[in-house]
Chain A
Amino acid sequence: DAGVIQSPRHEVTEMGQEVTLRCKPISGHNSLFWYRQTMMRGLELLIYFNNNVPIDDSGMPEDRFSAKMPNASFSTLKIQPSEPRDSAVYFCASSYDRGIQVNSPLHFGNGTRLTVT
């Protein structure tokens, strides 16, 4: 089990540039989450996919943020254009949702530290 794989680990970019963060969930997991972590706001849920379909994107800050999950093994989070206030650590997590009787814990990647100057 390779775990959740995120890339890149670190990203430094200038304001206005497009940033794409990537995530490979654990094979067999059917739920995928994107979180943002900052000192000020803690851990914030941005978007949640179930079976590759976006279920809840109410946490996406604004139209500059978009996320896709074209298949069960890959997801991207894109920021265009980026701003300094987007600087944070972005985590991807996956789980296997077995229905209403049982729910599984999340497995997190090691995150992408984004710095926008």
Chain B
Amino acid sequence: GNSVTQMEGPVTLSEEAFLTINCTYTATGYPSLFWYVQYPGEGLQLLLKATKADDKGSNKGFEATYRKETTSFHLEKGSVQVSDSAVYFCALSDLAASGGSYIPTFGRGTSLIVHP
């Protein structure tokens, strides 16, 4: 079956530090990969995505590259801000075994805390 493994948090950084959150996946097909962000008291929202190998998704200074050879999709940001404090979820979407529909699989989430 499909699975997503993220580094455990919390990740605690000072403002302007470099961020990496590791994500690796296992999939039976050729999935699309996503990063979602969840701010306190809110639902998850899409941060970025990549649909094929070597694609780089980017948004709000965050980047992640789809690495098929290492089955990874690590999230990076060069200089974090206090407002980036949130929980980050890596996810994949793959064709379901039946029904021809996409079923998403989420990682456990990684909490990021950025101090001024």
Contact = CB atoms under 8 A, between A and B. Distances in A.
Partners in one complex: yes
Interface string A88-116: 00010100010110110111111100000
A105 B34 contact: yes
A38 to B, nearest CB: 11
B44 A50 contact: no
A108 B45 contact: yes
B99 A50 contact: yes
A97 B102 contact: yes
A56 B103 contact: yes
B116 interface: no
Task: Please report whether the interface of chain A is mostly helix, strand, loop or mixed according to DSSP.
Answer: strand
A43 B109 contact: yes
Given A42-B109, A55-B96, A50 B46 contact: no
A105 B107 CA distance: 15
A91 B108 contact: no
A48 B43 contact: no
A1 B1 CA distance: 35
5 contacts: A42-B107, A55-B99, A106-B104, A109-B43, A110-B42
Interface of B: 32, 34, 36, 41-46, 49, 51, 89, 93, 95-96, 99-104, 106-109
